[in-house]
Amino acid sequence: MRTQVGIIGAGPAGLLLSQLLALQGIESVVLERHDRAYIEQRVRAGVLEHGSAQTLREAGVGARMDELGMAHGGTELRFMRRRHRIDFEQLTGRGITVYGQQEIVKDLLAARIGAGGDIRFEVQGVELAGLDTDRPTCRFVAAGEQHQLECDVVVGADGFHGVSRGYLPNPTVYERHYPFAWLGILAEAPPSSHELIYARHEDGFALHSMRTPHIIRMYLQVRPDEDLAQWSDERIWTELHTRLSTDDGFKLTEGPLLDKGITPMRSFVCTPMQHGRLFLAGDAAHIVPPTGAKGMNLAMADIRVLAHALGGYYADGRTDLLAAYTETALHRVWRAMHFSWWMTTMLHVDPDEDEFGHQLALSQLEYVASSRAMEASLAENYTGLPYSQGW
Ligand code: FAD
Ligand code: DHB
């Protein structure tokens, strides 16, 4: 079996790449470990930067997002029982779209499969070979049979726990762990605010988000080793009410829980993001803590760079864009690393910090809430830096 680009992983990164390549007349095969139902149901990110939403439209998969996604022109920071709105539209002229990651995965899968794209689900034991040659291969097992896929280029879009990163011979890793995790819930209740709320409370961080006018997505800061079994629905709601309470009487509407889980938090960058004919994209190469809503957006930004570089390679035989992939992508990766770390440390209560540290975080929040320059900086990073800078 032979294709031009072999893609490992059918997450947002792998599927978007397959779609952007198809639009340039470049063939790909996507190898995914799970079945279709599983990847279409997995609840994960929900915020699209202005440019990510635009990328999906340009890729021809924006119709459902434009119909069902929720356009937000700002967000709220909440601390010391007070609210402060950051007006993205006014500060940057751009907003965000709230639309679940699994909906994007559904839209991309429908587009690829509808156009006859080759996506193999439930593949096992992916192994790469010949990455230093111009005929790299992916070996894998599907339905109990061994297969070999010959390609020009292999893209590892297989997430943080994938196999591709292991084929970089001598990567440098930059990493930071945080002394907390997020407990996330999905509940059948109308949003209690028309925009997202990022709250710092002395008991820890809380986030109010949403998926539809009838479904909310909420997160609570918990310990990194937290046992989900210790969190009854009642305890979760009590904590959410406490952490989101305001002096002006904010009311949170409850509803039946549809999903709950714990997400660990870390910052991680692996460089270079390429070796020979292997290129990594998205979570396979880097992870951010979710507080800045950057993970999926960064995965999509990598893919924009890579799809453009592969386009140049196939159309004009250019190798310079592919050679520069890591360097080009890392500009945005490090900006997102810093923004996510900054949002995380400002909004979470670090159990290892002393009172001095807590006061610094509060001072930072007050500064953001009172300085137009700081508000603009948050808004610019949150809605996403323009691609026009080359990355
Ligand atoms: P993934 O979405 O991880 O996709 C990788 C794909 O590769 C998967 O489908 C996987 O099954 C497949 N795969 C893995 N290994 C193999 C293999 N060996 N062979 C074949 N296929 C393989 N970001 C936010 O911005 N906000 C959030 O609220 C948020 N919540 C998250 C919650 C969880 C539990 C997790 C894990 C992540 C969350 N993220 C969040 C991060 C965001 O979801 C990711 O940044 C985004 O999914 C990255 O996309 P990706 O395509 O690079 O990787
Ligand atoms: C959501 C997730 C985030 O990480 C974030 O910063 C905002 C919203 C969400 O899942 O809706």
Per-residue tokens: 248: 């002006």
Per-residue tokens: 53: 């939403």
Best residue among 70, 219, 221 to mutate for probing ligand 2's pocket (most ligand atoms within 8 Å of CB) is 219
Residue 264 identity (one-letter amino acid):
P
Is the shortest distance between the CB of 265 and ligand 2 below 6 Å?
no
Is the shortest distance between the CB of 291 and ligand 2 below 6 Å?
yes
CA–CA gap between residue 391 and residue 385 (Å, rounded): 9
Q: What is the dihedral of CA 12, 293, 61, 58, to 10 degrees?
A: -110
Q: Which one of the ligands is nearest to 296 CA?
A: 1
Q: Which residue has the tokens 């995790």?
A: 181
| Distance, C-alpha 170 to centroid of its chain | 26
Per-residue tokens: 385: 């830096």
- Blockwise average pLDDT, block size 10, the chain, 391 residues: 98 98 98 97 94 97 98 98 98 97 98 98 98 97 97 98 97 97 98 98 97 96 96 98 97 97 96 98 98 97 97 97 97 97 98 94 97 98 83 49
Which 3 state secondary structure label does DSSP give 279? Answer: strand
Given this model, what pLDDT does residue 183 score?
98
Rounded to two decimals, the ipTM of the complex is 0.96
For residue 283, report the distance from its CA to the centre of ligand 1, in Å: 6
Best residue among 72, 96, 207 to mutate for probing ligand 2's pocket (most ligand atoms within 8 Å of CB) is 207
Count of C-beta atoms within a 10 Å radius of residue 18: 29
- CB proximity list for 384: less than 8 A, separation 6 or greater: 49, 50, 51, 52, 94, 297
Per-residue tokens: 243: 């952490």
Number of residues that make up the chain: 391
Q: Is 382 a catalytic residue?
A: yes
Given this model, what pLDDT does residue 390 score?
52
Hey, whose CA ends up nearest to atom 25 of ligand 1?
A: 293
The structural domains of the chain, ordered by start, are 5-72+96-177+266-351 (3.50.50.60), 181-263 (3.30.9.10)
Per-residue tokens: 154: 């292999």
Return the closest-CA partner of residue 178 out of 254, 102, 290: 290
Per-residue tokens: 227: 């046992």
CA–CA gap between residue 136 and residue 346 (Å, rounded): 45
Per-residue tokens: 46: 């929900």
Residue 33 DSSP one-character state:
S
Is the shortest distance between the CB of 208 and ligand 2 below 6 Å?
no
Is the shortest distance between the CB of 196 and ligand 2 below 6 Å?
yes
Which 3 state secondary structure label does DSSP give 225? Answer: coil
Per-residue tokens: 98: 């709230």
CA–CA gap between residue 279 and residue 272 (Å, rounded): 9
Q: Which residues partner with 86 through β-bridges?
A: 75
Torsion 190-192-196-201 (CA) sign: negative
Is the shortest distance between the CB of 45 and ligand 2 below 6 Å?
yes
Atom of ligand 1 nearest to the CA of 299: 52
Is the shortest distance between the CB of 91 and ligand 2 below 6 Å?
no
Per the CB < 8 A criterion, the answer to whether 391 and 298 are in contact is no
Residue 55 identity (one-letter amino acid):
T
Q: Is 313 a catalytic residue?
A: no
* Ligand 1, pocket residues at CB < 6 Å: 8-14, 31-34, 39, 44-45, 101, 123, 126, 157-159, 162-163, 263, 282-283, 290, 293-296, 299
For residue 177, report the distance from its CA to the centre of ligand 1, in Å: 18
Hey, whose CA ends up nearest to atom 2 of ligand 1?
A: 11
Q: Is 136 a catalytic residue?
A: no
Given this model, what pLDDT does residue 389 score?
54
| Cα 157 to Cα 13, 17, 33, 154, 343, distances in angstroms | 6, 9, 12, 9, 26
Per-residue tokens: 49: 């930067």
Residue range 259-312, pLDDT digits in tens? 999 999 999 999 999 999 999 999 999 999 999 999 999 999 999 999 999 999
The one catalytic residue among 72, 106, 208, 286: 72
Hey, whose CA ends up nearest to atom 6 of ligand 2?
A: 293
Atom of ligand 1 nearest to the CA of 123: 20
Residue 353 identity (one-letter amino acid):
E
Pairing relationship of beta strands 197-201 and 204-212 according to DSSP bridges: antiparallel
